[in-house]
Amino acid sequence: MYEEALSAADAVAAQHMYADEGLAVLGRELATAPPSLALTVARGSSDHAANYFAYLAMQRLGVPVVSLPMSLVTLHHAPLAVKGQLAVALSQSGQSPDLIDTMSRLAEAGARTVALVNKHESPLAAACEWSLPLCAGEEKSVAATKSYIASLSAVARLVAHWQGDTG
């Protein structure tokens, strides 16, 4: 885990090189047609990164952000009115069936769906309109150290681009 933590800076640098243009395009699209609400869909450490996104989006953009309990969608089939709203999924693996199902259902309901995912060729990435890689590389330790740090970087970059902050 120590070695992976040391390589987190390399992951963030790779993200800047390979994913920043996609984050910029998405940020500009959101600035042009801003949602009035954003939902986050994640678990574990990814949900903590989603909380950071929520804080930044509310503080810098004034967009309310809600962490969506996936069971509302997957178990209870709640008729959420999300047309035109933003739904952001964060995941290391992109393999969790409940995340995939939730994002698919939100897309069917008209949400603009985004996956910030370490495994870019994943079912979660395929289920979303936008898929942007975290670029953290393989996680060998139990804790998703690099993916967590890369998630923090990705959401900060997304909010900065959305706000038009190029500095």
User: How many other CB atoms are there within 10 angstroms of residue 101's CB atom?
Assistant: 15
Q: What is the CATH number of the domain that holds 34?
A: 3.40.50.10490
- Which residues on neighbouring strands pair with residue 114, listed in sequence order? 88, 130
Domain hosting 11: range is 2-163
- Counted domains in the chain: 1
- Cβ atoms of 107 and 125 closer than 8 Å: no
How much is the pTM? 0.95
What is the per-residue pLDDT across 45-78, written as a single tens digit (0 to 9) for each?
A: 999 999 999 999 999 999 999 999 999 999 999 9
What is the per-residue pLDDT across 103-119, written as a single tens digit (0 to 9) for each?
A: 999 999 999 999 999 98
